[in-house]
C-alpha cells in the first residue's frame, strides 16, 4: 500500500444462506458459521475477519441479518476480534444496499476511508497473494477507482461470472486494469474460450473502494436506493453492540447486487487480477476440489470408513458413514439428514432445499442444535404431547423471564449449577437435582457458575412450538413473544 493510502476498513457481508451446502448449512446457521475447510478449528466468518487483521486495517464492520446477530458477535469474540460495528439488516436486499449502509456509516467518521468488501463465506488459500492484491488495489482506490478482484481462472468454470479486463488503469497503480465488461455465468464452450483468451477472470465478489467514491456512484446511479439506505441509517437504533436499521426504510430500498447496481454502470470500474487459491464454496464439490485427498482421490471428514471408493467427498457429522464400490459421490450425513449426490451435480442440492420449503418441512432452516444468545439447545425426542431437549447455558448467561400457555416443563441438571426462578421463588439446583414448572407459571433459568450448565428439559402439553413463549424480561434485546 502506498504511504499516503487511507486506512482500510474490512466490511464483511454475512447475509447468505448457503443452501447448496445443505444439510450442514441451513438458514438458521449457514455456512459462514461452520468450520468446513481445513482442520475444522476456524469458521469461515472467523477466517475472513482474521484475514483482514494488521496495521493497515481498522476494526472490521459487519453487516448481517437480525437472526444471526448473536452468532456473529460470539464467533468474533471467540476469535478475539473486536468489530467497529455490527449492522443488522431487517430484510435481505442484496449486496448493493448492504454495502451502501456500511459506506454511509463509515463516512460519518472518515469519508475517505477505504472499504475492503468481502463475503463472509469464501476460502482464500494463498493469503500473501491476497494481501499483495489489496495493496495494489488500494493505490487505485485512492485515485477514485471502484476496484474488484478478478481471480485468475485455471479451468473453464461455468459456475462463476467473469470479468474482462481492458487497458491499464491510467494512474499510479500498476497491476490494475479498467473493466471492459462483466459476463454472466457462461456455458462450457464459452468458458473455455475465456480461459484461452487470457484476459478474463472469475468474478470473486470482493471489492475495494473509498466510502466517498461508492456513495457518489450510488447517488448517480441508484438515488432511490441511497435515499432508502440513508433513511434506514438515520432512523436506526443502537441495540446493545448492534446497529439496528429502520425496518420500513430499508425494506423500501430496491434489491440489487453491486455488480448490477454500480459496477456495470460506472466508468470507474477496475480489476486487479490475482491468483490466490480462491473459492466461494458454492457446492460440496468445491470442498472436494480444494481439500487434500487420499491416494484414491477421496476427501473425508469425521468418522468415515471407505472401501473401493474413489473421487468422493464423505462428511460424517454425527454417526459413522461407510461406503463401498462407489465413485464421484458427495455424501454428507448429519444427525437428522443425509444427502447423497453425484459429485458433478452437487449444485442441484439447492433444488432439494427448495423442495423442502415447498413441502413445509423445517430441515432446511434449523439443525437439531439451535443456537441462542445464552447458549444452545438440542432436540432429543419429540412426541404428540411431549418433547425432550438438552439445554446448554453459557457461564453468566440467562434465559428470558417467561411463561407458556400450553406446556409444563421438568428440568433436570446434568452438569453445572442452575439458578431457577419460579414465580416468587428463586433457588439453586445442582447435578442430579430437578424441578417442575407448571403450565402458566412465570420462570427463568440462569447459569451463575464458571462452567457451562447442561440441563435436560422434558416438556409436556397440547402444543410444544417455540412460539408459545410470553417474554416479560430479556437481556438480549429480543422482541417479546406473546
At 373 the pLDDT is 87
Cα separation, 338 vs 473, in Å, equals: 39
DSSP secondary structure of 373-429: TTEEEEEEEE-SSEEEEEEEE-TT-BPPEEE-SSEEEEEEEEES-EEEEETTEEEEE
Please indicate, yes or no, whether residues 23 and 160 belong to a single structural domain of this protein: yes
Total domains present in the chain: 3
Please indicate, yes or no, whether residues 328 and 435 belong to a single structural domain of this protein: no
Q: Cα dist. 87→39, 52, 66, 388 in Å? A: 30, 18, 9, 35
Among residues 236, 264, 279, which one ends one of the domains? 279
Please indicate, yes or no, whether residues 273 and 293 belong to a single structural domain of this protein: no
At 87 the pLDDT is 95
* Residues lower than pLDDT 50 in the chain: 1-4, 482
pLDDT (tens digit, 9 = 90+) per residue, 317-359?
889 999 999 999 999 999 889 999 999 999 999 999 999 999 9
pTM, rounded to two decimals: 0.88
Please indicate, yes or no, whether residues 24 and 133 belong to a single structural domain of this protein: yes
At 226 the pLDDT is 96
Please indicate, yes or no, whether residues 448 and 330 belong to a single structural domain of this protein: no
Pairing of strands 338-342, 269-274: unpaired
Please indicate, yes or no, whether residues 125 and 182 belong to a single structural domain of this protein: yes
Domain containing 268 — which CATH number? 3.90.550.10
Query: Cβ distance 85 to 98 under 8 Å?
Result: no
Please indicate, yes or no, whether residues 260 and 385 belong to a single structural domain of this protein: no
**In this structure, is residue 482 part of a structural domain?**
no
At 474 the pLDDT is 84
| Alpha-carbon dihedral angle through residues 285, 197, 162, 330, given to the nearest 10 degrees | -10
Cα separation, 293 vs 191, in Å, equals: 26
Among residues 234, 254, 279, which one ends one of the domains? 279
Burial of 346 (0-12, 13-18, 19+ CB in 10 A): buried
Q: Which residue has the cell 412465570?
A: 442
Cell triple for 161: 461470472
**In this structure, is residue 261 part of a structural domain?**
yes
**In this structure, is residue 55 part of a structural domain?**
yes
Alpha helices in 79-185 (DSSP H): 95-107, 127-142
Pairing of strands 123-124, 278-279: antiparallel
Among residues 252, 279, 306, which one ends one of the domains? 279
At 478 the pLDDT is 65
**In this structure, is residue 466 part of a structural domain?**
yes
Which residue segment(s) compose the domain that 448 sits in? 369-473
Comparing CA positions, the residue from 83, 38, 420 lying closest to residue 243 is 83
pLDDT (tens digit, 9 = 90+) per residue, 377-401?
998 888 889 999 999 999 999 999 9
Query: Cβ distance 290 to 277 under 8 Å?
Result: yes
Please indicate, yes or no, whether residues 307 and 259 belong to a single structural domain of this protein: no
Domain containing 398 — which CATH number? 2.60.120.10
Please indicate, yes or no, whether residues 342 and 409 belong to a single structural domain of this protein: no
Cell triple for 275: 491468483
**In this structure, is residue 459 part of a structural domain?**
yes
Please indicate, yes or no, whether residues 215 and 177 belong to a single structural domain of this protein: yes
State the DSSP H helix or E strand holding residue 352, giving kind and residue range, or none if neither.
Answer: helix 349-358
Q: Which residue has the cell 449449577?
A: 417
Please indicate, yes or no, whether residues 157 and 56 belong to a single structural domain of this protein: yes
Cα separation, 2 vs 11, in Å, equals: 21
Please indicate, yes or no, whether residues 222 and 111 belong to a single structural domain of this protein: yes
Helix (H, G, I), strand (E, B), or coil: what is residue 62? strand
Cα 426 versus chain centre, distance = 39
**In this structure, is residue 207 part of a structural domain?**
yes
**In this structure, is residue 480 part of a structural domain?**
no
Amino acid at each position: 500500500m502506498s504511504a499516503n493510502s487511507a486506512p482500510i476498513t474490512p466490511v464483511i457481508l454475512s447475509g447468505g444462506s448457503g443452501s447448496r451446502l445443505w444439510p450442514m448449512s441451513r438458514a438458521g446457521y449457514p455456512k459462514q458459521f461452520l468450520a468446513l475447510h481445513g482442520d475444522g478449528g476456524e469458521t469461515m466468518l472467523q477466517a475472513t475477519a482474521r484475514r483482514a487483521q494488521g496495521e493497515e486495517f481498522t476494526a472490521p464492520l459487519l453487516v448481517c441479518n437480525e437472526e444471526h446477530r448473536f452468532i456473529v458477535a460470539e464467533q468474533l469474540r471467540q476469535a478475539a476480534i473486536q468489530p467497529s460495528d455490527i449492522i443488522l439488516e431487517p430484510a435481505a436486499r442484496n449486496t448493493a444496499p448492504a454495502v451502501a449502509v456500511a459506506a454511509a456509516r463509515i463516512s460519518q467518521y472518515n469519508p475517505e476511508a477505504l472499504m475492503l468488501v468481502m463475503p463472509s463465506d469464501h476460502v482464500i488459500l494463498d493469503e500473501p497473494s491476497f494481501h499483495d492484491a489489496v495493496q495494489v488495489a488500494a493505490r487505485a482506490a485512492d485515485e477514485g477507482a471502484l476496484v474488484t478482484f478478478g481471480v485468475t481462472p485455471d479451468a473453464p468454470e461455468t459456475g462463476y461470472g467473469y470479468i474482462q479486463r481492458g487497458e491499464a488503469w491510467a494512474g499510479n497503480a500498476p497491476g490494475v486494469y479498467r473493466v471492459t465488461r462483466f459476463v454472466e455465468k457462461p456455458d462450457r464452450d464459452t468458458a473455455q474460450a475465456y480461459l484461452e483468451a487470457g484476459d478474463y477472470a472469475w468474478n470473486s465478489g470482493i471489492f475495494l473502494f473509498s466510502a466517498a467514491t461508492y456513495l457518489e456512484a450510488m447517488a448517480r446511479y441508484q438515488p432511490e436506493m441511497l435515499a432508502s439506505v440513508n433513511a434506514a441509517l438515520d432512523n436506526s437504533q443502537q441495540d446493545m453492540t448492534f446497529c439496528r436499521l429502520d425496518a420500513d426504510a430499508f425494506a423500501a430500498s430496491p434489491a440489487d447486487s453491486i455488480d448490477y447496481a454500480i459496477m456495470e454502470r460506472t466508468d470507474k470500474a477496475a480489476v486487479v487480477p490475482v491468483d490466490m487459491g480462491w473459492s466461494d464454496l458454492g457446492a460440496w464439490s468445491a470442498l472436494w476440489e480444494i481439500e487434500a485427498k487420499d491416494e484414491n482421490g477421496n476427501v473425508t471428514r469425521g468418522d468415515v470408513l471407505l472401501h473401493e471408493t474413489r473421487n468422493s467427498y464423505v462428511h460424517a457429522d454425527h454417526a459413522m458413514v461407510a461406503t463401498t464400490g462407489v465413485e464421484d459421490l458427495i455424501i454428507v450425513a448429519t444427525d437428522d439428514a443425509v444427502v447423497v449426490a453425484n459429485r458433478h451435480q452437487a449444485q442441484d442440492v439447492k433444488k432439494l432445499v427448495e423442495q423442502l420449503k415447498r413441502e413445509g418441512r423445517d430441515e432446511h432452516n434449523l439443525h437439531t442444535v439451535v443456537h441462542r444468545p445464552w447458549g444452545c439447545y438440542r432436540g432429543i425426542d419429540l412426541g404428540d404431547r411431549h418433547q425432550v431437549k438438552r439445554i446448554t447455558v453459557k457461564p453468566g448467561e440467562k434465559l428470558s423471564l417467561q411463561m407458556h400457555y400450553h406446556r409444563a416443563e421438568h428440568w433436570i441438571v446434568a452438569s453445572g449449577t442452575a439458578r431457577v426462578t419460579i414465580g416468587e421463588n428463586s433457588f439453586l439446583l445442582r447435578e442430579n437435582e430437578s424441578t417442575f414448572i407448571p403450565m402458566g407459571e412465570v420462570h427463568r433459568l440462569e447459569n451463575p457458575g464458571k462452567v457451562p450448565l447442561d440441563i435436560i428439559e422434558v416438556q409436556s402439553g397440547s402444543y410444544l412450538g417455540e412460539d408459545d413463549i410470553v417474554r416479560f424480561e430479556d437481556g438480549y434485546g429480543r422482541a417479546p413473544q406473546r
